[in-house]
Chains A and B, each alone.
Chain A
Amino acid sequence: GQSLEQPSEVTAVEGAIVQINCTYQTSGFYGLSWYQQHDGGAPTFLSYNALDGLEETGRFSSFLSRSDSYGYLLLQELQMKDSASYFCAVRGHNQGGKLIFGQGTELSVKP
């Protein structure tokens, strides 16, 4: 089976840097994705790591280490609008491409 663990909530101040971790248990997967969801809205794609290492997209970066079964999303220069829930997700090799999400991390950015 597949499972992903994230912290339930994180608080940071504007302008700071925050890291949201994701640890997973899966027998094999194509890559680790990250999504952002504002309250009441639909999740939107942020980043994808197919290979180990760091992927950078503007203020957001994502990291994957398959040997450690671990990844993280790094948000820099935090803005109030970054307050949202963040989900990691994997699609497994097995089980017909099942796309599974973690429980989500609620990020609160304070002034």
Chain B
Amino acid sequence: DGGITQSPKYLFRKEGQNVTLSCEQNLNHDAMYWYRQDPGQGLRLIYYSQIVNDFQKGDIAEGYSVSREKKESFPLTVTSAQKNPTAFYLCASSMAQGAMGEAFFGQGTRLTVV
């Protein structure tokens, strides 16, 4: 079945550590996105990528990094520079810019700093 998979579902990080969240899709989508969601809040865009080996900063990119070496994969690293990383992280993918509007989401990773 085609879909988008995030792992792990829950992640605990010690202060000062970098952690990497995985996002893989087999929908053959060109575009991929990372969002952060805090309790009771909307989805804020961290990074997005429209094509392999290219990505752009979203609205809250500070303290995060990404790579897009393969079409299927768009991992997000939460660095120690992110001062308040505890949140729900959602990855999404969609067809290329200008195409149908539907984005598909993974089930999310809940990151907690301990």
Contact = CB atoms under 8 A, between A and B. Distances in A.
- 3 smallest A-B Cβ distances: which pairs? A97-B97, A48-B101, A103-B42
B107 interface: yes
Interface size on A, as a range, is: 20 to 34
Given A30-B98, A48-B101, A98-B48, A42 B107 contact: yes
Contacts of B41: 103-104
A50 B95 CA distance: 15
A95 B40 CA distance: 27
Nearest to A106: B40
- Indicate the size class of the contact surface on chain B: 20 to 34
A16 interface: no
Given A96-B48, A97-B50, A91 B106 contact: no
A32 B102 CA distance: 10
Nearest to B6: A42
Contact of A98 (B45, B92, B100): B45
Contacts of B48: 96-99
A91 B94 CA distance: 11
Contacts of B92: 43, 99
A35 B42 CA distance: 11
Contacts of B94: 91, 99
Interface string A42-74: 111100101000000000000000000000000
Given A32-B101, A41-B107, 13 more contacts: A30-B97, A33-B101, A50-B101, A91-B94, A96-B50, A96-B56, A96-B97, A97-B31, A97-B50, A97-B96, A98-B48, A100-B45, A106-B40
